[in-house]
C-alpha cells in the first residue's frame, strides 16, 4: 500500500475520532476536553495508535474512559470510514505539548549574553 494512502487514512481517522468523541457520554471523556493529536495506523491497517491530550481531569481516569469507550468508537469509525478492516484502537497519551512547555521554560531561564567575537587572524590574512 502506498505511504500517501496510509497518511490520508490517518488524517481521516483523526478527523472522525474528533467528531465521535463529542458524542461519547462518558463523563471521564466529555468533562476533560480530550483532543486527538495524531493517529498512526500500521501498514496492514489492522492496528491504530491514537494519540490524545486532555486539558483537564486525571490522566488515569481519562485513559480508563477511552478504553471503556473503545468499542463504541471503533463501531462508529467502521460506519463512517468504509474500510474493509476497522483497526483495533490503542489510546496513548500525547505528552509533546507538556514537553514543549518544559523546554520553553528551560530556555527562558537561560542567561545568554552576547560576547563580541575575537579575530585571531584566521581570516586568511598574512601578517
CA-nearest of 108, 73, 105 to 88 is 73
In sequence order, the 6+-apart residues with CB closer than 8 A to the CB of 54 are 32, 33, 34, 35, 62, 93
pLDDT digits (tens, 9 = 90+) for 56-95: 888 899 999 999 999 999 999 999 988 888 999 999 998 8
pLDDT digits (tens, 9 = 90+) for 14-50: 999 999 999 999 888 888 888 899 999 998 889 999 9
Q: What is the pTM of this model?
A: 0.74
CATH architecture for the domain at 3-104:
2-Layer Sandwich (3.30)
Q: Name which residue leads in pLDDT, 8 or 113.
A: 8
pLDDT digits (tens, 9 = 90+) for 89-122: 999 998 887 788 889 999 888 877 777 666 665 6
The whole-angstrom separation of Cα 4 and Cα 18 is: 21
The residues with which 93 forms a beta bridge, in sequence order, are 52
Amino acid at each position: 500500500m502506498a505511504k500517501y494512502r496510509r497518511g490520508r487514512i490517518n488524517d481521516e481517522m483523526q478527523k472522525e475520532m474528533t467528531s465521535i468523541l463529542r458524542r461519547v457520554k462518558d463523563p471521564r471523556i466529555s468533562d476533560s476536553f480530550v483532543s486527538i493529536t495524531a493517529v498512526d495506523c500500521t501498514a496492514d491497517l489492522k492496528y491504530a495508535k491514537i494519540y490524545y491530550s486532555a486539558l483537564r481531569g486525571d490522566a488515569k481516569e481519562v485513559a480508563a474512559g477511552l478504553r471503556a469507550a473503545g468499542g463504541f468508537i471503533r463501531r462508529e469509525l467502521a460506519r463512517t470510514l468504509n474500510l474493509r478492516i476497522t483497526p483495533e484502537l490503542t489510546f496513548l497519551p500525547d505528552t509533546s505539548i507538556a514537553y514543549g512547555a518544559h523546554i520553553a521554560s528551560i530556555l527562558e531561564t537561560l542567561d545568554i549574553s552576547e560576547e563580541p567575537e575575537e579575530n585571531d587572524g584566521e581570516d586568511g590574512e598574512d601578517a
